[in-house]
Structure 1
Amino acid sequence: MRISYLHGGSIPSLFANGVHVMRMCDAFAAAGHDITLYSMPGPDPAEDPYTYYGVSNRFPIRLVAAPGHTPNGYWQRADTIRRMVARGPRPDIVYGRDPYALSVLADLAPFVYEVHQLRKDLVPVGTERKLLGKPGLARVVAITHALAGDLRKKYEDLGTLPILVAPDCADPPGPTATTRAPQLPGRPDVPRVGYVGHLYDGRGIGLVLDLADRFPGLDFHLVGGTAEDRARWEKACRASHVYFHGHRPPSALPAYYGLFDVVLAPYETKVYTWGRLGETGRWASPMKVFEYMSHGLPMIASDLPVLREVLQNGVNCLLRPPEDPEAWAEALGELVADGALRRRLGDEARRQVLERYTWRRRADDVLADIGLPDRTGTGEAGLPK
């Protein structure tokens, strides 16, 4: 199947959406599809995106900048992408998270719209509603059941939307996960507690630092975050056994996972994106959680309804209320003291990822049973030939 993937963000970048998009394109390519990614250019044009993200397949990436980061600029960029795609060969499916580009390309082929939050930023108002009403809509992919329910409620006047719930995923650790391990600072003979991800508001970094104050006998390592966020939290940190490692390329992260004894996913009830531009706590499906699971790491995570779609207390992790540091301290102490519990939780988490939550399986699921245009010329579903 020939797929045009439309991404409204940049490649490469510091942000999780770039990781998600590259993993999906890599999985489509691994499944035998002819995939071309249309993205914004990243800040460093010399950075090789395939190496940066650690993907296995070198699918084509077309970088298309917007003439200004404004709605009008995004619409102009969408027109540019349409001209590029229309020059052919014509795609069988247009797939993406960019509602501007999807709106402009919606008549070229059946399209799949992937959604990670309710969009309130699109201009003009009603852009998403109009997109969901187009006849070429083949599927809406939502990352959680909570988001799917809110989409149905918001657009109930459009009838039954073709929504598929597909959580985020992780790749099983490859051979690079046990090589080129970084030399971590700290004490070599004490357990290590890890956190991997951004340091934005709502990610529970204050809770991590609180746990560090309670457990001077453990070392805490935080991997990720912009330079600005890292400096802010380093200033707030009082403990000498907390180490901030800053942003690392996604391809480098597997080597860190193997060095941690326990990992944390301390999401608060409100989880903000970069610059507090959006709040996604109600609908989140964090890739970090699945990566922890894929490496068989014992995890303590926030007991939130959306995370309970995947996580089960005492089965694949320990769940604790994000507002209760005493409960988190109790859980951390229990995990550090009980090696059998750590192994049981980690083994079951890994098993569930391999069975249910790989990127390759997700790539197959989101395209399953989608009809292709009739190349004989009769057309399908009213799509123009």
Structure 2
Amino acid sequence: MKIVYISRSIIPSRTANSIHVMKMCNAFASLGHEVTLLAPWTKKLEEKDITDIFEYYGVEKNFELKKLFSPNIKYLKKRIYSLRCLSEVKKINPDIVYGRDDMFAFYLTQKSGYFTLFEKHEPYDGEGFNDFFFTKFMNANRKSAKLVVNSNELRKMYHTRCELSMDSILAANNGTNPIADEKIPEGMTLDTNRVHIGYVGSLFKGRGIDIIIELAKRIPSADFHIIGGKDKDLEFWKSQVSLDNLIFYGFVEPKETYKYRNMCDILLAPYQSDEEGNRSSRYMSPIKLFEYMSSKKAIVCSNFKVVYEALNDECAMLVESSNLQQWEEAVHTLMNDKDKREQLAINAYEKFLKYHTWQARAQKILEYIESNR
């Protein structure tokens, strides 16, 4: 089939949504489909000095990326970009228009007669430009397949708030790709007599960086590695603490992050609840968890209900998000029990291979489309 994927992600950039978009287009194409990704051309916001976008994201160049100019004009920016997307869709004449973030563009392609399916990663509050056109899009949608979301909790929310039948919403968790090798970062020297504990991801509020810092203080016998983060967040946390066993690495290109996971024995995902600063925690399907699972490493994670869509007690240690004692006990348990670390890691990896690769996600979405067009 011919698929056009529409996105508002800045490509290339450091954002998780840009990684998601590139990986999904790669997965659709790997299943034998002709894929064109439309993304805004916004030079000022793009990551600098990237010579090969596909190589930067670590994906095969098996789909076409078309950048459409998106002028920085208040109130008109989204509308102009969406109209440009419609024009491009008409030139390509695809079998399916798919994607996320730009609701107006999908409303326009649906009105123009194209089979259009939209993916939502955020809760619905009925306010703003996107939700206005989301409602119009849903009201005009006569197909059985109406929406794709990335968690079962989000599926339930749209069923309740938007009065959509459960059958018309597909929950497809995010994913990642299997790791190609066991390399660690070039030039990295690790003390093999110490346990290495890692975190890969954003450093903003709600990600539990304060939990990791406290663990580093309480467990001086282990080394803690924090990979990722914007420069301003990195500067903030570095100004708060200085410990010999806590190392901040800053931003690492997406294709290189697996090497940092490889060097760790234990990986942490200390997500915090809505009340603790993370608005999306109830509905999230973080790519981080699937990347952790693919790394064959023991995982300690916050025990949110939505997390159980990826993990369970047989493939991770799940603890209360803000209970520092539970975090410390879980880390100590894994530090002192190598067999438990290895068994959890194997269980997580096997679950990942079966359910949570990008290709498996793409296949699930395409099968849903075919059975409901």
- Normalising by the residue count of structure 2, what TM-score does the alignment of the two structures yield? 0.92
Secondary structure of the residue that 2:224 maps to in structure 1? strand
For the residues of structure 2 that align with 1:124 and 1:343, how far apart are their CA atoms? 45
Partner of 1:4: 4
Change over 3 Å in CA distance of 1:211–1:46 after alignment to 2: closer
Moved more, 111-120 or 340-349: 111-120
Is contact 1:143–1:285 with CA below 8 Å preserved after alignment? yes
Is contact 2:124–2:158 with CA below 8 Å preserved after alignment? no
Amino acid at match of 1:361: A
Deviation at 1:28, TM superposition (A): 0.5
Change over 3 Å in CA distance of 1:161–1:123 after alignment to 2: farther
Is contact 2:95–2:114 with CA below 8 Å preserved after alignment? yes
Is contact 2:290–2:310 with CA below 8 Å preserved after alignment? no
Deviation at 1:179, TM superposition (A): 3.5
Deviation at 1:134, TM superposition (A): 2.3
Partner of 2:159: 152
Deviation at 1:180, TM superposition (A): 6.0
Partner of 2:120: 115
Partner of 1:92: 95
For the residues of structure 2 that align with 1:11 and 1:125, how far apart are their CA atoms? 24
For the residues of structure 2 that align with 1:161 and 1:69, how far apart are their CA atoms? 39
Partner of 2:320: 321
Secondary structure of the residue that 2:305 maps to in structure 1? coil
Amino acid at match of 1:349: A
Is contact 2:138–2:146 with CA below 8 Å preserved after alignment? no
Report matched runs for 1:57-76 at 5 Å: 57-68=61-72, 70-76=74-80
For the residues of structure 2 that align with 1:344 and 1:69, how far apart are their CA atoms? 54
Amino acid at match of 1:28: F
Moved more, 96-105 or 178-187: 178-187
Deviation at 1:100, TM superposition (A): 2.1
Is contact 2:3–2:35 with CA below 8 Å preserved after alignment? yes
**How far does the alpha carbon of each residue in 1:92-147 deviate from its partner, in whole angstroms, 9 at most, with x for none?**
00001021211121134211111101245631762211112223654411111110
Partner of 2:186: 182
**How far does the alpha carbon of each residue in 1:15-54 deviate from its partner, in whole angstroms, 9 at most, with x for none?**
1001111110000010001000001235246522101100
- Answer yes or no: is 1:215 the counterpart of 2:214: no
Secondary structure of the residue that 1:9 maps to in structure 2? coil
Is contact 2:149–2:172 with CA below 8 Å preserved after alignment? yes
Is contact 2:26–2:60 with CA below 8 Å preserved after alignment? yes
**How far does the alpha carbon of each residue in 1:136-162 deviate from its partner, in whole angstroms, 9 at most, with x for none?**
654411111110011111111x56661
Report matched runs for 1:263-274 at 5 Å: 263-270=267-274
Amino acid at match of 2:97: V
Unaligned residue ranges in structure 1 (runs of 5+)? 373-379
- Normalising by the residue count of structure 1, what TM-score does the alignment of the two structures yield? 0.89
Partner of 1:199: 203
Amino acid at match of 1:309: E
Deviation at 1:185, TM superposition (A): 6.4
**Ranges of 4+ aligned residues in structure 1 off by more than 6 Å:** none
For the residues of structure 1 that align with 2:73 and 2:206, how far apart are their CA atoms? 26
Partner of 1:341: 340
Report matched runs for 1:1-385 at 5 Å: 1-41=1-41, 43-44=46-47, 46-47=49-50, 48-68=52-72, 70-88=74-92, 90-97=93-100, 98-106=102-110, 107-120=112-125, 122-123=128-129, 126-135=132-141, 137=143, 138-156=145-163, 162-174=168-180, 177-179=181-183, 181-184=185-188, 187-270=191-274, 279-313=279-313, 315-371=314-370
Amino acid at match of 2:268: L
Is contact 1:186–1:241 with CA below 8 Å preserved after alignment? no
Deviation at 1:281, TM superposition (A): 1.1
Secondary structure of the residue that 1:64 maps to in structure 2? strand
Change over 3 Å in CA distance of 1:344–1:67 after alignment to 2: same
User: Between Structure 1 and Structure 2, how many residues are aligned?
Assistant: 365
Q: CA RMSD in A?
A: 2.2
Change over 3 Å in CA distance of 1:209–1:186 after alignment to 2: farther
Amino acid at match of 2:99: G
**How far does the alpha carbon of each residue in 1:317-357 deviate from its partner, in whole angstroms, 9 at most, with x for none?**
00010111011100000001100000100000000000111
Q: Identify, as 1 or 2, the structure richer in helix.
A: 2
Q: Percent identity?
A: 29
Change over 3 Å in CA distance of 1:6–1:71 after alignment to 2: farther
Deviation at 1:70, TM superposition (A): 4.2
For the residues of structure 2 that align with 1:56 and 1:124, how far apart are their CA atoms? 32
For the residues of structure 2 that align with 1:119 and 1:45, how far apart are their CA atoms? 34
For the residues of structure 2 that align with 1:58 and 1:103, how far apart are their CA atoms? 28
Is contact 1:203–1:271 with CA below 8 Å preserved after alignment? no
Unaligned residue ranges in structure 2 (runs of 5+)? none
For the residues of structure 1 that align with 2:205 and 2:273, how far apart are their CA atoms? 11
**How far does the alpha carbon of each residue in 1:252-304 deviate from its partner, in whole angstroms, 9 at most, with x for none?**
111111100000000000299xxx9x821110111111111011110000011
Partner of 1:377: none
Amino acid at match of 1:346: A
